[in-house]
Structure 1
């Protein structure tokens, strides 16, 4: 697929969106920004709620592709998750279908498979021990459930309408890892931009689910699908390992927050009430 010229970036004022709106233009993209909040320095950004169908339809007009990062990025009430992550994502897909946008790159999450047991063994793990992208949905929260919905919605729109999607199960994208668990799921901002660029430009993706992490020594999941898109990660969390291990110690199955991919999300039933 030729590199898209204009890309709609939803959730552009969020943590990940802020990082990507700084890094993606170097790949030649002209970004149209959308968020609930105004974006400093960009008076042309679309300020809208994903629940506003009319605003979403307007935002997608004339774009070559969409990077969908908008929504609630942690656990919340089901009502809030439903509006922002489930209904909002459906509005985006309908708008993209109507406008003839050929591809969406959507931020899924490790929490879509959060109750998957974490792999065990010395690092680096052999390929046979890594979690594949075919691992079944095992959401750990309403938030994780919304990412399962988004992946299935993407599959439906590919099968029914021919709208392509790359669903990226992002681990943790921060400037540096902040926990021992994150050493296995860390995605550096620079690698995230590389991954998004690969997902935007790969040929014939249909609906592809790919894991989003850097080339971490302590990696838990299989990156072969992401690499097949053209992703070549350059970073590794291992330089941060000694300090984090000194602070927290190794992961232990005696700690319920360490036994599954989703970490503490798997140990804390929703603290929110509608």
Structure 2
């Protein structure tokens, strides 16, 4: 491809996508609100920009084949703080993509769009939205935005409902883990699949205990290789007993399902921001 655009390039996942994406195109334009993303590759261009500023975002997508939208505020916060980067920012990306004739948006959605489903209820890609936070609600908004732009304007979208993409350190992650290698493979398939229309797929590795079903997304050709079962014995031996009445343990959204709206999940549970998406 001639040009790809990556938002959220300074983030934990975005930074890992830079080299693989750069290998897929002549020019990789990367953007973030951070002042710097470190040393640039030979075909990388960095532009600092605020997702909520359409005047800053729109020029970046000119001439792009696709945009990989990983930029967002990654935690639960009051709605007013979420509105700019996660709601308006998503609209700006899709509208700018439409204006410039971009073919496809690959979007980092999240399990938190359906995070209030019980863990004993295996969910597929067609279940109704059931967000666990304002953060999850923003993911629902962007998924619906993507579907609407496909059906009304012909702009393809692949929404990656990532579960947890970080080292396995807790019982939930034995099922929800997405390894970094599988994450890269997932994004590559979202880009390389010839026709996607509007598609949703869960971002999860080939875990024995994966709580979601990607059968209806097999057209994307995502075939994960890693399995968190290798960590299970140690994790479960060291973990405290889980409370089945605690939403953090019982629902797909994990700790996001158990916090009050607008309060940080990362601070309350001492999570790293790489643990969720």
CA RMSD, aligned part only?
1.8
The alpha-carbon deviation at position 28 of structure 1 amounts to: 5.6
TM-score where L is the length of structure 1 = 0.89
Give the equivalent residue in structure 1 for 2:244: 253
Give the equivalent residue in structure 2 for 1:89: 90
Give the equivalent residue in structure 2 for 1:218: 209
Q: Secondary structure at the match of 2:123?
A: coil
* 8 Å Cα contact 2:160-2:202 kept in structure 1: yes
| Match for residue 11 of structure 2 among 11, 14, 17 | 14
* 8 Å Cα contact 1:24-1:193 kept in structure 2: no
Give the equivalent residue in structure 2 for 1:262: 253
Deviates more, 1:145-154 or 1:242-251: 242-251
- Unaligned ranges ≥5, structure 2: 265-277
The alpha-carbon deviation at position 246 of structure 1 amounts to: 1.6
Return the alpha-carbon distance in structure 2 between the equivalents of residues 271 and 232 of structure 1. Answer: 36
Q: Secondary structure at the match of 1:101?
A: coil
- Unaligned ranges ≥5, structure 1: 120-128
| Match for residue 138 of structure 1 among 104, 122, 130 | 130
The alpha-carbon deviation at position 29 of structure 1 amounts to: 6.9
Return the alpha-carbon distance in structure 2 between the equivalents of residues 171 and 225 of structure 1. Answer: 17
Distance 1:225 1:29, change over 3 A: farther
* 8 Å Cα contact 1:34-1:46 kept in structure 2: yes
Give the equivalent residue in structure 1 for 2:115: 114
Residue 35 (structure 1) aligned with residue 26 (structure 2): no
Give the equivalent residue in structure 2 for 1:65: 66
Q: Secondary structure at the match of 1:181?
A: helix
TM-score where L is the length of structure 2 = 0.88
Give the equivalent residue in structure 1 for 2:55: 54
Q: Secondary structure at the match of 2:260?
A: coil
Q: Secondary structure at the match of 2:30?
A: strand
Question: What are the equivalent positions in structure 2 for 1:134-173 lying under 5 Å apart?
Answer: 134-173=126-165
The alpha-carbon deviation at position 44 of structure 1 amounts to: 3.1
Return the alpha-carbon distance in structure 1 between the equivalents of residues 46 and 232 of structure 2. Answer: 39
Moved segments of 4+, more than 6 Å: none
Return the alpha-carbon distance in structure 1 between the equivalents of residues 209 and 106 of structure 2. Answer: 26
* 8 Å Cα contact 2:134-2:262 kept in structure 1: no
Return the alpha-carbon distance in structure 2 between the equivalents of residues 251 and 97 of structure 1. Answer: 47
Distance 1:214 1:56, change over 3 A: same
**How many equivalent pairs are there?**
260
